[in-house]
Amino acid sequence: MAEAIFKQTLTIDCHINSAGLHALEGYRPDPTAIQLMQEKGIDISKYQATQLNQTIIRKSDLILVMEKNQKEMIEHKEPSAKGRVFRLGEWGEFDVADPYKQQRKAFEDALQLIEQGVNEWVKRI
C-alpha cells in the first residue's frame, strides 16, 4: 500500500519499490489491501512481494520502514545502510503495525498511518 501511495503522491521522477524483511516472495497483496486501494482508485492487484536483500539495500538512497525494530534489523544486517533508513512515521514518531491476517479495521488504520507518513515524507523529498 505504501509503495502505491508514494507513486501516486510523489511528483518527482524516482524509482520506488517495496520489499519486506519477511516477505512471502511472489505472493499477491491481501485481498483487503487490494479492496481498500481500489476504493482509492489504485490497483495493486498485480503487485508481488519481494524480499529485501543486500543488493536492494545498497542501491537505495532512502529506505523507509514501518517499525523501529525493522530499522534496527536492516542496519544490523547491512551497516552501510545507516543514515539511509528511517521509519515512514519518522516525523510523527509512529510505527505502522502490519495488518497481515487481521480484520479490515487493521488495514484501514495502517493505510491511514501510511498516508500520513507519505505526506510528511513528500514534503521533505
Domain ranges of the chain: 2-124
Q: Give the model's pLDDT for residue 23.
A: 87
Q: For residue 36, what are the CA distances in angstroms to 4, 10, 30, 78, 104?
A: 12, 20, 10, 34, 9
Q: Give the model's pLDDT for residue 10.
A: 92
pLDDT per residue as tens, the chain (125 positions): 999 999 999 988 899 999 999 888 989 999 999 999 999 999 999 999 999 999 999 999 999 999 999 999 999 999 999 999 999 999 999 999 999 889 999 999 999 999 999 999 999 98
Q: Please tell me the pTM assigned to this model.
A: 0.93
What is the Cα Rg of the chain in Å?
Answer: 14
Domain 2-124 carries which CATH code?
A: 3.40.50.2300
